[in-house]
Amino acid sequence: MSNVAEIQDYLVNLAPPDLAESWDNVGLLTGDPAQNVNQIITCLTLTPDVAAEAIAAGADLIISHHPILFRPVQQITSTTVEGKMLLDLIQAKISVYSPHTSYDSAERGINWQLANLLGLEEIGVLRPIVSLSEESGEQQRGAGRYGTLPAEFTLPQLNQLIKQALKVNSLQFVGESDLRIRRIGIACGAAAEFLRDAHRHDCQVLLTGEARFHACLEARALGMGLILPGHYATERPAMERMALLLQQQFPELKIGASQQETDPLQWDCDVEPA
């Protein structure tokens, strides 16, 4: 029977913690490494709904992309939503692991998966990490990805391709309809800070999940497109894929993505224009 430590070893190999951003909180966040594991649930964000699902299912481990205990806490009590959730999970002996930005930046992590999904060629790293691994010839270490489309697209055509690939009905974007695109930068989640990295790599567009208003203005000033299909849309599919990868590695376990998790944002598409 597998235990938490064995699952952790696999996750560390899949998404090395040294790839995580300095501000992040990755790894085993609660739980006993020696605890046996029969069932795992993956999710984008560990919410009370997902925790209740895991407890009801008898899960032993939750792999949540977004970390719990992201900021230092001085108290864990039932008087706060996060505190009550943590106490419930601890009482149910459910461990929690978060790969977060280490999975974003892994060699076959979220940003690579998005680039591959869009059929990009000549995939490279937007923001490389300088490390000894580079001297040994290892490639694709660092944050963000960029790549070349197999043919030139206009911005509306690329928007349509991304909607189909990510299975979303709508998205937000910055840019002119006649913008011609051959190279794309990719940074999942909320990562418009990669805009200038993408510009330096001669990308005509940056794909990320969401962005602040001033980042949209910056994209326009640079003459770049910015495509925003949503935070959930750019990251949740990778947690479903993680469940499949884990199931292949640990076939004796019951593993699946949360069925309760949904995107909290909704779009009202029936409003008539003024």
Q: Is 49 annotated as a binding residue?
A: no
Q: Is 201 annotated as a binding residue?
A: no
Residue with the two structure tokens 């952790």: 8
Query: What is the H or E stretch that residue 12 is in?
Result: helix 4-14
**C-beta pairs of 231-234 under 8 Å, 24+ apart in sequence:** 231/189, 231/190, 232/44, 232/263, 232/264, 232/265, 233/166, 233/167, 233/168, 233/171, 233/209, 233/263, 234/110, 234/114, 234/166, 234/188, 234/189, 234/207, 234/208, 234/209
235 CB neighbour count, 10 Å cutoff: 23
Q: Is 65 annotated as a binding residue?
A: yes
Q: How distant, in Å, are the alpha carbons of 14, 105, 259 from that of 135?
A: 21, 19, 43
Residue ranges of the binding site for a divalent metal cation? 65-66, 104, 231, 235
Residue ranges of the binding site? 65-66, 104, 231, 235
